[in-house]
Chain A
Amino acid sequence: MAMRKGLSPVTLTALAGGIAFLYIPLFLLVIYSFNDSRLVTVWGGWSTRWYQALPQNQALMDAAWVSLKVAAVAATLATILGTLAALALVRAGTFRGRTLFAGLVYAPLVMPEVITGLALLLLFVAIDFDRGFWTVALAHVTFTMCFVAVIVQSRLLTFDHSLEEAALDLGATPLRAFFSVTLPVIFPAVAAGWLLAFTLSLDDLVIANFTAGPGNTTLPMRIYSQVRLGVTPEVNAISTVFIVVITAVVLAASLAMKWQQGKAEGR
């Protein structure tokens, strides 16, 4: 009906206000990373000096490298585990402990990070597992796999089960049916899950703070220790690099998915 379609001035204002609220802080952060002045609140003209200084900051570069390695390992394992968990929730029917299982999948999504971090640290201490690269990676797998599970689950719910059954009727093994029928269809969701897991891992400060060993300082830990000393142009510069890279990857991924979808619908 005409009366509720479209945007009224009020809703349009709300939308514009919401988007502005989300983007103005990031926009200002980016602008001030090009500030020539060391005083972050005083504009001293345009300059790229803080970007030129970044590669010389060895501690920062090391931390970035650690973060990328952790995120790649964690996202990959989390995608496998999360996809399996989604299959179990949507496809496996009822099984003993299903409610507990669902609870374990959904709880980490809302669990305060301080608690997850503390709990995982105490586990690693209790089983005498030395803190280092793998403790951070395993901790990240655990909380990011649940996000993957939710994304893949919502795709599986809208996916026509009969395709898979046809493959099984034609004599495919369940494993074969999964790889040749189900996986290609849900692949965009699996890829989106991997991307989300990767960025969540790259971004995590609190859990890494608990579980990282000496010599495995991640990028957020390094940035955090600088931020605690106050706002500095260097932090603005590294933040800008972070924002630009993530934005580019997410935009590219969503365009690729849209293109894929368009191709699938065009068939």
Chain B
Amino acid sequence: MSSEKRSLFARATIAIPFLWLAVFFLLPFLIVFKISLSDDAVAQPPYVPALSFSEGWAALREKLALLDAENYAFVLSDWLYVYSYMQSLLLAGIATAILVLVGYPVAYAIVRSPRGLRPVLLLLVILPFFTSFLIRVYAWIGILSREGLLNQSLLSLGLVSQPLEILSTNIAVVIGMVYSYFPFMVLPLYAVLERMDDSLLEAAADLGATPAQAFWRVTVPVSVPGIVAGALLCFIPAVGEFVIPDLLGGSDTQMIGRTVWNEFAVNRSWSVSSALAILILLVLLVPILIYQRMQLRELESR
């Protein structure tokens, strides 16, 4: 379809979702950015300046001059906030690395399964994703708590003499992340492994490679796009995770998603929480752009 004779219908397919996302996704971020440059105030809304076009350009310009970056300076000079960012990146990174290690064999095994069984196995992996995220995280509280099922079985088997303290630690947070994001890792890996050309491995075998060599030197390199896609799909949302650190973490778990929420709901500082959110976006900008580029390339390649 050439762009000159694009029909009214085709134009509507572009305009309607574009407009929606501009109003409900792009515009909100501009507002967050603006508020991150504002100051808190005891008012409704609780920040100044509140921009409005009704007072004319001169008033608007005057108010724009009140915007400054002091929230950013405040956030970056406070060790607690910086620690919060570091911890989020670290825990999400550890969880993503574990996800690659446990997700890869599962995706590989599904591809190796009999053809008729593959959709069933895939459905088994996806199904928990459809059931509630909250419920899946909640299920781990009963397992990991001090009197929980894990400690009960370990104690009765005599493997430990004292209950393990897992709940309310960062270990529990990582377990929760690995569990919750598991399907996001398996699906992209499955997609690349399934598309892989079998003749590559035959060629490797003909050239004298052992199955293990063929795996490490052919299969793994071919699946790198899947690994990257899966890792990004898990890592980016995990950095800003709120529910998992809140339910499974302890008092020293100060992941940034929780900090944003506390700053907003408990401290009622909209401007600081906006600055924190913008800083998360800056940290995640590169991975998000890589992810989008991969999606777009996938779209063009077919």
Interface residues of A (CB under 8 A from B): 1, 3-8, 10-12, 14-15, 17-19, 21-23, 25-26, 28-29, 32, 40-41, 81-82, 84-85, 87-95, 97, 99, 101-116, 118-120, 122-123, 125-126, 138-139, 141-142, 145, 149-150, 153, 157-158, 173-175, 178, 196, 199, 202-203, 205-206, 209-210, 220, 223-224, 227-228, 230-231, 235-236, 239, 242-243, 246-247, 250-251, 254, 258
Contact = CB atoms under 8 A, between A and B. Distances in A.
Contact of A84 (B17, B113, B247): B17
B148 interface: yes
A125 B270 CA distance: 11
**Chain B: interface size category:** 35 or more
B13 A115 contact: no
A239 B128 CA distance: 13
B247 A227 contact: yes
Contacts of A142: 20-21, 24-25
A153 B135 contact: no
A178 B13 CA distance: 11
A41 B149 contact: yes
A254 B35 CA distance: 45
B176 to A, nearest CB: 10
B240 interface: yes
Contacts of A206: 242-243, 257, 261
Contact of A18 (B35, B102, B123, B261): B102
Contact of B106 (A3, A8, A18, A235): A18
A84 B138 contact: no
A112 B114 CA distance: 37
Interface on chain B toward A: helix, strand, loop, or mixed SS?
helix
Contact of A26 (B109, B128, B274, B281): B128
B74 interface: no
Most chain B CB atoms below 10 A, which of A110, A113, A223: A110
A102 B291 CA distance: 12
Contact of A3 (B8, B24, B205, B291): B205
Contacts of B202: 1
Nearest to A253: B130
A122 B68 CA distance: 19
Given A25-B143, A114-B277, A239-B132, A4 B21 contact: no
A18 B105 contact: yes
B112 A174 contact: no
Contacts of A116: 25
Across chains A and B, which 8 residue pairs bring their CB atoms closest together, nearest first? A112-B240, A14-B105, A119-B28, A18-B106, A15-B109, A85-B17, A174-B9, A11-B109
Contacts of A99: 296
A205 B25 contact: no
B109 A25 contact: no
B291 A106 contact: yes
Given A1-B201, A126-B31, A202 B9 contact: no
5 contacts: A1-B201, A6-B114, A141-B20, A203-B132, A203-B134
Interface in B122-152: 123-125, 127-128, 130-136, 138-143, 145, 147-149, 152
Given A114-B277, A205-B243, A243 B131 contact: yes
Interface in B92-119: 102-103, 105-106, 108-110, 112-114, 119
Contacts of A40: 142
B164 to A, nearest CB: 15
Nearest to A240: B135
A84 B21 contact: no
A145 B277 contact: no
Contacts of B2: 93
B72 interface: no
A84 B21 CA distance: 12
Contacts of B143: 25, 28
Given A110-B237, A157-B302, A254 B135 contact: no
B81 interface: no
